[in-house]
Amino acid sequence: MKVLHESGLAPYHTFGIDVSAKYIVEASSVEDFLSIWQDEIYQAIPKLVVGQGSNLLFCEDYQGVIILNRIKGIDVVETAEYVDLHVGGGEDWHQFVAWTVDNGFNGLENLALIPGCVGSSPIQNIGAYGVELKDVCHYVDVLNVLTGESQRLMAEECNFGYRDSIFKHELKDSHIITAVGFRLAKDWQPQISYGPLAKFSLESVTAKEIFDEVCSVRCEKLPDPKEMGNAGSFFKNPIIGLASRDRLLSEFPNMPSYPVDSGHCKLAAGWLIDQCGLKGYQIGGAKVHPQQALVLTNTGNATALDVLHLAQYVVDTVAAKFDVALEHEVRFMAHDAETNLQEMLQ
């Protein structure tokens, strides 16, 4: 365990909002996490585990301890059918994906350039270009900080859903993800049905080509958090009933929609925001990205309140035009616990 002699959180979350924490510590092992939860200094105050802070908006100064997950390591076991990878929760996600591509372990290439750490990936069930974490996850290792016991949850026990999992609900306040197990089939089936990947041929495409294309598209459309603070996609793609979709299509025939099940479909939140003319819209130092309407950015001097007011304006404008409710994908943190847009602005 390493205690950092600083309190500013701007370097530890990709939005770069100027907020502080009471304490910031690094944990490099399961034992470190246990020590932090048992330490008298930290026992009575809130605790939040952070990887790279790529899906967080700190709405206020945090009156607790921020624990940076720095558990590292990648172990490989190969069988005739699979490559099994055991990966520490503190590993950088994109660097890990690039490593798998370089080593010929195919299956993660569609998930390139998603910011964050490996330990954060199951929480949101991250996904892109037709692949979700649940498609490649074999298990998740967790630490129950209330009992001190470690446990392995198989993928089917994680209740993965669209940007959702058990780690956002039942286990949110009691369990820490320490490692993730991936199972990649050697009989690789490329996923190229989504958008810019459709130009490739199933018979000849390589994982490296998919990886390079995903990186190129993401770099073109999405701002680099190191240059402009942001947390990636700010809103979830809304899921609505087919009757509501048909009603909207009668008025907006070019509206993209994607089937989810027999009674629901998913809309593109970025398209909805764009149709409201909100690209480039700004409140204070917070701005809707001019190229990607799904991303809210910190132009350099945004306050948390700027971002909150901009998010609410986007939600209200989309609701007024389409009668569709947007829900933020980014996690909102108040001074002592997770919160949401409605609670922060009530």
Tell me the backbone φ, ψ of residue 150, rounded to 5 degrees.
Answer: -95, 150
CA angle, residues 226, 290, 209, in degrees to nearest 5: 65
The torsion region of residue 241 among left (phi > 0), alpha (psi -120 to 50) and beta comes to beta
For residue 247, indicate whether it is catalytic: no
CA angle, residues 261, 268, 243, in degrees to nearest 5: 50
DSSP for residue 15: T
Q: What is the DSSP string of 98-157?
A: HHHHHTT--S-GGGTT--SBGGGHHHHT-EETTEEGGGTEEEEEEEETTTTEEEEEEGGG
Among 70, 163, 218, 245, the active-site one is 163
Among 120, 121, 233, 257, the active-site one is 233
C-alpha atoms less than 13 angstroms from C-alpha of 197 in its C-beta half-sphere: 26
Asked if residues 258 and 265 have their Cβ atoms less than 8 Å apart, the reply is yes
By DSSP bridging, strand 239-241 and strand 286-288 are: unpaired
For residue 132, indicate whether it is catalytic: no
C-alpha–C-alpha distance, residues 254 and 24, integer Å: 48
C-alpha–C-alpha distance, residues 75 and 197, integer Å: 30
| Sheet architecture: strand order including 229-233 | 229-233, 295-298, 286-288, 282-283
Among 26, 209, 329, 338, the active-site one is 329
Residues acting as catalytic residues: 163, 233, 329
